Amino acid sequence: MFAIPSAHAEAPATKTAPQATTTAPLSAQEAQQLLNVLNDPKQRDAFTHTLSLMARGIKETPAASAPSTDTKTLPEVSPEIGNGFNSVRTQSMGYVHNFLNLFKDLGLVGHWFRTQLSTPETRAPILHAFGIAFIVIACGLAVERVVALMLRNPLLATTQKAQAQETRNARQPLETDAEITAEAPTSNSSQTRAEDQRRQVETLRFLARIPYSFLHLVLKTVPVLAFLAVTVPSIWVLPISDRTANVILTLAYSYAGARGLYLLVETAFTPRSPTIRLLPASNPTAFMVTRWWNVLVAAPAIVICLSELGAQFNLTPRGTDAMIRGVVLVEHILIAAFIWRIRHIVSRALQPSTLGKKTGMWTVIAAITRLWWVPAMFLDISLWIVWAAHLQGGYAWILKTTGTTIAVLVLSRLGAVLAYGLQDRFFRVNPQLEERFPELQKRADRYYPAARAILTGAILFLTLVAMTEAWGLPTFGFFIRNALGRRLTDTVLTLLIAVTVAAAIWEVVNLVLNHQLTSFETSGQRSRATRLRTVLPIIRTVLLAIIIIIVAVTTLSQIGINVTPLLTGAGILGAAIAFGSQSLVKDFITGFFMLVEDAIQVGDWVTTGGVSGTVENLSIRTVKVRDITGDLHIIPFSSVSSIANTARGYNQIVIKQQLDLSEDLPRVSAIMSKAVKEMRADPVFGPMILSDYTDLGVDQSDSGGATLIGSIRTTPMMKWKVKREFNRIVTNRFAEEGVKFYTPTAYTTTPPGNAMQFHVANDTGPQPTPETP
């Protein structure tokens, strides 16, 4: 065969060159190998494909050496591409052939039945083996039933103990939920914490049931072990053939395996004992699932029996395989019916909580979960098609991947509940610490939703990585060994660490400032408390700006963006802005030093910028002063050259009395001194006055009289009130004592030529009317 193409290929070249070699005949071994290839369909198709490629290459050789012409030819398909398409076509046809052979092979099964049961010689061994096996199995089932009746009381005692434990554990979650709701009934973070703790309590309650469920499973397994103890030793006791013994063992092990699978699910749902039920399901759902599962576990037992007993009774492997695939088809049809039956129950269980439905993402997820049965149906059908088409490793891969995915989801759910519980404990402030920092719990609650979102994202990310690894995608290796994956991981971790550290610094600084403010207020240092309260917004603004800049620069540099040009541009822009707005910069600088030096506070009476009034508000740039008429003046600090603050230290009242030159000055001074002493004894004005009347002597003495001057020292902001009361008292005293004050004299002149008349202002008579010319 190999020589024929070579001879035909060399025939055109005999005119120009002599034949170099002669074709050797095939040996017997080579002929046998070629015959085996032709008899095997797969090897024959591969050999035919190879010959077609060789023929295509032989035809292309002359075309390559032919002289070039102007005729344009279409590009031919590459041999590698054609080889790939042919391989895919061959495999697809093989899978379709295997799938269609299922229905052809079922005819072999029918022929086998007719052959085996048509004659007494072939029918008798089958009936004898299965008859003895059924008798042994029936005895084993009877023993199993008796043992199950004997264990009814221990099962009931286990259920009662679980019920008592459930009653003791049912009180704690109610108290905890009430406490959380009482703290902040309208807070989203409190609702989230209550929901997390409710789920944590429910999960812990289910975990507390595990010992009782395990004991329930052990007690339920004892009758199955009794069944095996009767059926398995019977093959050594009874005088039976090896074929009959194999039938007994196969049926016994198949039943025990199916019974064990049923007990696992029945223990998880326990329809007759809700107190030890591990899965959150109602009683009707538990009964329905266990009934369906009792039917579904029969298929694996039948498959085991067919695979083991087919060869015992001369059934061909193709017939056995056809029967197994038929049983698996029935199993998948039942699974599809079961999925359709429980679609609404699972949809309700997969719906997010009431709090989660408020977000857009969970709304989309809720809509998707209502159609969960569609991919489940598709998976069920795909599994049977893969099984029927004999895809190598396909069925096992899908089962393994599905089982691993379910396990990952279950572990993710348990991990999420435990993680949320730890988060709740971490954010719950110690009562002793809360007494020292009363606002600490409220500030911690502000970060609870954000921390919950980050924790949820981390759990989802780890779940997706584990699921994709189970599906065969090297996701973990991508984030560990790949440069891009490591860069993404480092960026996210750096950003989380930077945000966490920034939030911690922010909260620690605010906590210290608030604690210091509270300490000033409780210790009576109101001036210092007012000063700190004034500077507090500025400190927070500057600290927040610094934190944002550091986090932004760190994040951008970690992503890979060169921040040096950005910082340089920001510096140049800042210098330009500072140069163009010098007054604004001056406002900020002056205001900062005014506040740091405690030159002014809210509530002080000040005189600045030509305005006197009470300070109502201070910012880093302006001061707001409201004068005595109620007008509010906003004064930038750049316009403040000096500040007269009446609210600092003490005030001093300067008293001036303009007396007549004939008045006894020591007597007047004694009257004022006595009035101040009486005011200091008064419970209202006494605390406002810091000193007695201080006589400073005569400030001026001339034709206008004698000016007696003195002073009184008062507490800050009290000088006007004390001065008014002092003036009221001394006015009455001066009138009683007849103190003479200087009274100026007024003169009225007349035109020239008339007699000059004058009138003293302090005369009591009527003034003359001046004459008119």
Residue 51 falls inside a structural domain? no
Q: What is the pLDDT of residues 422-435, one digit of tens each?
A: 887 787 777 777 77
Residue 136 falls inside a structural domain? yes
For 83, 85, 91, 220, 619, the CA distances from 78, given in Å and listed in that order, are: 9, 11, 20, 66, 78
What's residue 65's pLDDT?
A: 42
For residues 249 and 272, state if they share a domain: yes
For residues 153 and 287, state if they share a domain: yes
Number of domains forming the structure of the chain: 5
What's residue 710's pLDDT?
A: 92
The Cα 282–Cα 271 span in angstroms is: 8
What's residue 711's pLDDT?
A: 92
The β-bridge partners of 623 are 618, 635
CATH of the domain at 685: 3.30.70.100
Name the token pair of 623.
């001061």
For residues 665 and 693, state if they share a domain: yes
Residue 541 falls inside a structural domain? yes
pTM, full prediction: 0.54
What is the Rg, in whole angstroms, of the alpha carbon atoms belonging to the chain? Answer: 52
For residues 640 and 655, state if they share a domain: no
For residues 161 and 264, state if they share a domain: yes
Residue where one domain finishes, among candidates 427, 456, 473: 473
Residue 450 falls inside a structural domain? yes
Q: What is the pLDDT of residues 522-531, one digit of tens each?
A: 877 776 776 6
Residue 415 falls inside a structural domain? yes
What's residue 332's pLDDT?
A: 83
For residues 628 and 658, state if they share a domain: no
What's residue 468's pLDDT?
A: 86
CB contact at 8 A, 603 and 615:
yes
For residues 285 and 153, state if they share a domain: yes
The Cα 113–Cα 32 span in angstroms is: 38
Distance of CA 548 to the CA centre of its chain: 22
The domain containing residue 557 runs over which residues? 482-580
Residue 352 falls inside a structural domain? no
What's residue 714's pLDDT?
A: 92
How are strands ordered across the β-sheet holding 605-608?
632-636, 622-626, 611-618, 605-608, 643-645
What's residue 86's pLDDT?
A: 60
What's residue 172's pLDDT?
A: 55
Three-class DSSP category at 659:
strand
Residues whose CB is less than 8 angstroms from the CB of residue 564 and which lie 6 or more positions away in sequence, other chains included: none
The Cα 518–Cα 525 span in angstroms is: 10
For residues 147 and 289, state if they share a domain: yes
Residue 561 falls inside a structural domain? yes
Element (H, E) at 698: strand 694-702
Residue where one domain finishes, among candidates 630, 645, 660: 645
What's residue 453's pLDDT?
A: 84
Residue 426 falls inside a structural domain? yes
The DSSP string of 585-628 is HHHHHHHHHHHHTT---TT-EEEETTEEEEEEEE-SSEEEEE-T
Q: Which residues of the chain have pLDDT under 50?
A: 1-23, 58-78, 173-186, 761, 763-773
